[in-house]
Structure 1
Amino acid sequence: MLSLSGLALFAGIASAYVVSNGTTCYLYPESQIHLGRNVDDTPSIHQAFDQCGTNGTVVFTEETFHLNTVVNTTGLLNCLVELKGELLFSTNVPYWLSHSISVGLQNQSTAWLFGGTNVTFLGQGGSINGNGQTWYDENQNHSNQPGRPITITFSNSTNLWIENLRIIQQQFWATFVTYSHNVTMKDVYVNGTSNSRWNTVNTDGSDTWNSRDILMENWTVVTGDDCIAAKGNTTNLHVKNVTCYGGAGMTIGSVGQYPNSPDYDENIVFEQVRTIDTFNGAYIKTWQGETAGVSSNGDAGGGGSGLIRNITFKDFDMINCSLPLQITQCIYTEDAGACETSKSRYIEDIHFENITATSRYNIAASL
């Protein structure tokens, strides 16, 4: 016989699939009360964060959750998130192309916007699955398709701690840190692997922009693009103990895209990095000095000013790398004349320390 408390608990589960226990909200997938059908769990996720996102805890239980629509869990305060299940994004390409949330950089957007103050996100055996193969096939090796979503964006956050996060088959970039400071991301695993003839273009492990005081430590990234990239106005970034398979290694940039928005990347350290079968290893890239309406990056840009200063690449071991060390101020154009115009951006105090590499070709560096 069920007790009254048991009946109350069951009723709470069945009605919304958010079970509250004081300041803790437990999430269960809607599919359990819809005969296993793929029902969108985003409304329940929003409900849980509305109830427990301030001075509370949100727990994704050990189940599979279907994320069929955009997720916006921002404005959190003193919140703990525990991910024990799988978050599975839908493959509804037309929906995501028209509904993903703009992040303010280039033409990029995100499937999940996450942020707050004093927030901890723990991956306790759970994972985020972007269903990226659909995007690799649909995109067909093109760059920066508008609306193709970043898996999760950490935005407007202060004192954010992320640990044991696992992201597989990211749709686009796996993670993006923007307008945030004092961010720690430890023990992160990202794997975007294609099983078709189309490559995993633009599947960066992480990008930072307009953010400062960031630690990224103990990462493994399988990607077709930047492993970790510090985009414009990233300051005091420390990346440590990272292994990258494929892609473009550790990257500064690209910067200098917008004439009215100077980019300053300063005080950045990449150390204890191992790259395997990458295009680049330690890489600094900027746009050309003149604005171009069309570029190989998929959108317009160039002509922006700024400064790249005090950058350290230390203790690198690069295996079968196409070009281990590269600095270029003309990344997205083939116009040689435009490449002579990058005068308004300065690159100084760049340090390469204890670098070992095997190059795929007969060039080890282009600086």
Structure 2
Amino acid sequence: MKIFIAAITSLLPLAIATGIQVSTVDGRPQCIVKAVGGNQSDVGNILDAFERCGKSGYIIFPEGQSYWINRKLSPRVKDLNIQWRGEWTFPDNISYWRSDSYFIEFQTHRAGLILTGDGIHIDGYGTRGIHWNGDTWYSAEAGETVEGRPMPFMLWNVSDVSAKNFHQRQPQFWA
């Protein structure tokens, strides 16, 4: 018994450090993602949540949480419900996003976030969504669109998708 308690105690900091609370609700995995804060990357925790709960599960970004998305991400999911109450912020680092985003042949655009899969249901509950820092892009390009400017939140190769009560603030390009 002492060995078991010691093992659990030693693993507890690892579970807390991930920033994800994983449980089972109605037989489905549920991940609640806590933001790291202080403009530190949340991408690792978010991708971990998609990996753990992105198949027949729930992912919750709680209200009042601000997530820092400093690199591209493209999760593949199936039968996923997302409660998107917190806000993801994409930094205004134009040179980074131009060089390290996903190329989309349609109108030679780029994307920093691509969501792929089937049975994707997003509800933002009218609280938050994604802040793209678009004013930086509009000011830098002064009305002349330059290749490499990302479009927001791309759904690619999807079926059975719904998104409601979800906000995109200051997209870098049309939304």
- 1:30 counterpart residue number: 36
Q: Distance in 2 between matches of 1:8 and 1:28?
A: 21
TM-score by length of 1: 0.42
* 1:17 and 2:19 matched: yes
Q: Deviations over 1:19-46 (max 9, x none)?
A: 1112000111112xxxxx2111111111
Query: Which of 123, 130, 133 is residue 132 of structure 2 equivalent to?
Result: 130
Seen in structure 2, the aligned counterparts of structure 1 residues 54 and 140 have a Cα distance that, compared at 3 Å, is same
Partner of 1:119: 120
Secondary structure of the structure 1 residue equivalent to 2:67: strand
d(CA) in 1 for partners of 2:14 and 2:124? 25
Give the partner amino acid of 2:59: V
Provide the rounded CA distance (Å) in 1 between the counterparts of 2:43 and 2:82. 15
Hey, what's the Cα distance between the residues in 2 that align with 1:13 and 1:103? 36
Q: 1:105 maps to which residue? A: 106
Corresponding residue SS for 2:74: strand
**Cα distance, 1:10 vs. partner?**
6.8
Does the CA-based 8 Å contact 1:123-1:165 persist in structure 2?
Answer: yes
Return the alpha-carbon distance in structure 2 between the equivalents of residues 49 and 8 of structure 1.
25
1:54 is matched with 55
Separation of aligned partners in 2, 1:19 and 1:13: 8
Q: For residues 179-258 of structure 1, what are the structure 2 equivalents within 5 Å?
A: none
Q: Tell me the CA shift for residue 112 of structure 1.
A: 0.5
Tell me the amino acid that sits aligned with residue 55 of structure 1: S
Cross-structure match for 1:171: 172
- Aligned residues: percent identity? 25
CA distance in 2, matches of 1:51, 1:123: 21
Gaps of 5+ in 1: 32-36, 175-367
CA contact (8 A) 1:67 1:87 kept: yes
Runs of 4+ more than 2 Å apart: 7-14
Instruction: Count the aligned residue pairs.
Output: 162
- Structure number, greater radius of gyration: 1
Per-residue deviation, 1:9: 10
Aligned-pair CA distance for 1:14: 3.2
State the secondary structure of the residue aligned to 1:71.
Answer: coil
Distance 1:12 1:164 in 2: 34
Q: CA deviation at 1:119?
A: 1.2
Displacement after TM superposition at 1:91 (Å): 0.8
**Distance in 1 between residues matched to 2:97 and 2:129, nearest whole Å:** 20
RMSD: 1.9
Partner of 1:102, secondary structure, is: strand
In structure 2, give the amino acid aligned to 1:158: S
Partner of 2:79: 78
**2-structure distance, mates of 1:123, 1:8:** 36
Q: Note the residue ranges of structure 2 that are not aligned, 5 or more in a row.
A: none
Give deviations 1:123-169, integer Å, cap 9, x for gaps. 122221111111111111103x2111111001100111111111110
State the alpha-carbon separation in 1 of the partners of residues 150 and 140 from structure 2.
Answer: 13
- Residue 113 of structure 1 deviates from its aligned partner by 0.2
Query: Distance between the aligned counterparts of 1:44 and 1:115, measured in 2?
Result: 18
Tell me the alpha carbon deviations over residues 75-99 of structure 1, each in whole angstroms, 9 at most, x when there is no partner.
x111101101111111111110001
2:45 paired with 1:44: yes
The structure with the greater share of residues assigned to helix is: 2
**C-alpha contact (below 8 Å) 1:100/1:148 kept by paired residues:** no
Q: Which has the higher contact order (CA 8 A, sep 6+)?
A: 2
Q: Is the 8 A contact 1:12 1:19 kept in 2?
A: no
The answer to whether the 8 Å contact 1:9/1:19 transfers is no
> What TM-score does the superposition give when structure 2 sets the normalisation length?
0.86
Partners of 2:45 and 2:163 in 1: CA distance: 22
- 1:106 is displaced (CA, Å) by 2.4
